[in-house]
Every structure is written in C-alpha cells, then in structure tokens.
Amino acid sequence: MADAMRALVIDEAGEGAELRVGEVPRPLRVSDEVLVRVIAAGVNPIDRKTKLGKGVAAAIPSFPAVLGNDFAGVVETVPYAAHPLQPGDRVYGMTRVPRGSGSYAEYVSVSSMSVAPMPVATGFVEAAAVPCAALTAWGAVVDVARAHDGQRMLIHAGAGGVGHFAVQLASYFGAHVTATGSSENAEFLASLGARRVIDYTSERFEEVAGEQDVVIDLIGNVVDETGTRSLRVLRRGGLVVNVPTRSWPTMAEEAEAAGVRATGYSVSPDARTLAVISRLIDDGSVRVHVDGEYPLDLGEAAHRRLGEGHVRGKLVLRVAPDPA
C-alpha cells in the first residue's frame, strides 16, 4: 500500500473552514489497532461543530486535519494472526478524533475495542450511519435513563440521527415514547415506535406532553430554550439527559431548582455495545435511515445540508466503491 491516502481535510477550524480533498499520510497501525479500508463514513453534528471551531476543535494537534467519527469498511491488517477480526472482514465502528485521524479518508487505524462486525442486514452506507448515533442513543436511553416497561420518556428531535435510534431503543425496552418532530415526520416517528408525536411547529410540548419520567434532550437551549422548557414536563425527581455539548450551560442549576435530576452524556466507541446493536438491526428490531449519500469530494455539501437542519436519520459519505 502507498504511504499516502486520499482524505477530506480542513486547513483550519473556524467559521471560514471548508472541507477539501487532499493527500495525507496513511495511518500506521500500532499496538491493538486494526487498520480498516474505509468504504463509507457517517456525517455527524460533532464533525461540523469541530470544523467550525467548536466541538473538539481545541484538541486538533495540527493541520490539515481529517474529521469523521463513523466508518464502515474492510479489515486490512490486525494486531496478530489469531485475532477475532481478520483481513477481509466487513466491520464498522468509531474513531477517536482528534486523538487520531478521522474516517473521512481511505483508511483508519483504530483500537480493536472500537470495531465490530457489520450487521449482515446492512450495506456499507447504512452501517456507516450507525455507530456514533446509535451508541449515543444507547448510552442516553439504556445506560443512563435505563429504559423499561411503562416508563414515560420524551425524546426531542426524534427523527434525527441520534433521535431515530433513541425512539426505537426506548420503545424496544418498553418505554412509552413521546417524540417531538415536524408534521412531515409524524408517520416516520410512529413507525419507529413513538406512541405520540408532538408537532413542535404547532404545539408547545410542555403544554401537551403530560408528566414524564425522562426527557432525552437532543437540542438543548440553542433552539427556543428547549432544555429549560423540558424541565416543566418532568415529574419530581425525574431525569433529563442532555446530549449536544455546550447546548445548555445552566442545566445543572436549573434542574436542581426544579427538583429533578440532570446529566450530560458523551459517547464511547464501545464495540461490545455496537455488537448488541448489530443483533437488533439484524433481527429487525432497529432499522437505519439514511437521508442522503454523498461522494467524498462533496463532503462540504453534506456539511451544508446538515447545517440546514431537518435531516431525517443520517447523511453518509461514500469513500470507495463496495468491494467485489
């Protein structure tokens, strides 16, 4: 293999930053890492935030930098001959940008603890839409909120990347799910398991949602004080889980004053949990929705589309053709 690879890079982080295709060094596999040839890469809000100088931009060690958390691809090399993953295996997972190079590239080298076999039921594009969003949803809904039978859970932005997995997982574990979304997404959300859909364009959710045990807040106070208003629907001692970083700086103080619990959540690229999610995808309990597929050289267009909002499910970059 060549020492260089094609990648989508940024030359700076900030409001003027744009993605461009360039050549960067191919990552060197070390220690427990698996080298993966990337076929598709998911596009996440954290990627766009980082490009714009927020997110994890402060930790980027140098430029040009390769962004991208999600990947689906084919194993090239492994740590040792008897490793559970083998060359040629179809896998997916998450990188640890910016501690390493991202997935908007022909290759990634990541810890084997961050890589799992792809679901049999998906292709590479669908698989690349899963890791970051589904693991975030699992962490918020299952690990933190402990979704269970009869639990009343309100999920904001239910049709989005994290949201459409959160609705499905909460419903799978028995929660009574209310989701906020547009009228255009009402049927979609119902098909995912939402018992009720509140059209945020015509109703104030705090006036109609009723008392909830948990709010999964995927918006925060960056839009119409969604976080603060969410406190009004929680029962005494209820829980709000806020996911977007720095979207609600006063959450802890406001929650304490309201007599409810509050926490943020940061995703971990855990292959063990991803393997469980794969089984749910393969048995039909969870499905993946891809709203758009873009070639690598149109990555900037994908980021613009993400910035416009109202993406149903995920956007994905096609990095390479499917292997024969």
> Does 244 lie in the same domain as 156?
yes
Residues 10 and 124 in one domain: yes
Answer yes or no: is pLDDT of 1 > 60: no
Tell whether 138 and 215 lie within a shared domain.
Answer: yes
Q: d(Cα 55, Cα 87) in Å, to the nearest integer?
A: 33
Q: How far is CA 121 from CA 100, 150, 288, in A?
A: 29, 30, 10
CATH code, domain carrying 115:
3.90.180.10
Judge if 79 and 165 occupy the same domain: no
Query: Is the domain of 245 the same as that of 292?
Result: no
152 and 175, same domain (yes or no): yes
271 in a domain, yes or no?
Answer: no
Q: Answer yes or no: do 122 and 140 share one domain.
A: no
Tell me 11's DSSP state: S
Where residue 257 sits, what CATH number does that domain have?
Answer: 3.40.50.720
Both 144 and 223 in one domain: the answer is yes
Classify residue 19: in a domain, yes or no. yes
Q: How confident is the model at residue 324 (pLDDT cuts 50, 70, 90)?
A: confident
Q: 8 and 50: one domain?
A: yes
Q: Is 45 helix (H, G, I), strand (E, B) or coil?
A: helix
Q: At 229, is the pLDDT very low, low, confident or very high (cuts 50, 70, 90)?
A: very high
Query: Which residues pair with residue 177 across a beta bridge?
Result: 153
Measure Cα distances from 242 to 227, 245, 249 in Å. 8, 8, 10
Which structural domain range is residue 259 located in? Answer: 133-264
DSSP code, position 322: P
Within a domain: residue 186?
A: yes
Query: How far, rounded to the nearest angstrom, does the alpha carbon of residue 259 sit from its chain's CA centroid?
Result: 30
Determine, yes or no, domain membership for 276: no
Greater model confidence, 309 or 41: 41
Same-domain check for residues 49 and 126: yes
Total domains, the chain: 2
Task: Give CA 54 to chain center in angstroms.
Answer: 17
User: For residues 167 and 173, what is the distance between their CA atoms, to the nearest angstrom?
Assistant: 10
Residue 50 CA to residue 262 CA, distance in Å, equals 25
- Domain identity same for 110 and 168: no
Tell me the whole-structure pTM to 2 decimals.
0.96
The tens digit of pLDDT for each residue in 260-302 reads 999 999 999 999 999 999 999 999 999 999 999 999 999 999 9
Mean pLDDT, range 68-93, rounded to an integer: 98
- What mean pLDDT comes out for the span 102-123? 97
Selection from 67, 1, 64, 60 nearest residue 36 by Cα: 1
Q: Which pLDDT does position 204 carry in this prediction?
A: 97
Instruction: Establish if 230 belongs to a structural domain.
Output: yes
Tell me the DSSP string of 220-278: GGGTTTHHHHHGGGEEEEEEEEE-STTS-TTHHHHHHHHT-EEEE------HHHHHHHH
Judgement on whether residues 112 and 145 belong to the same structural domain of the protein: no
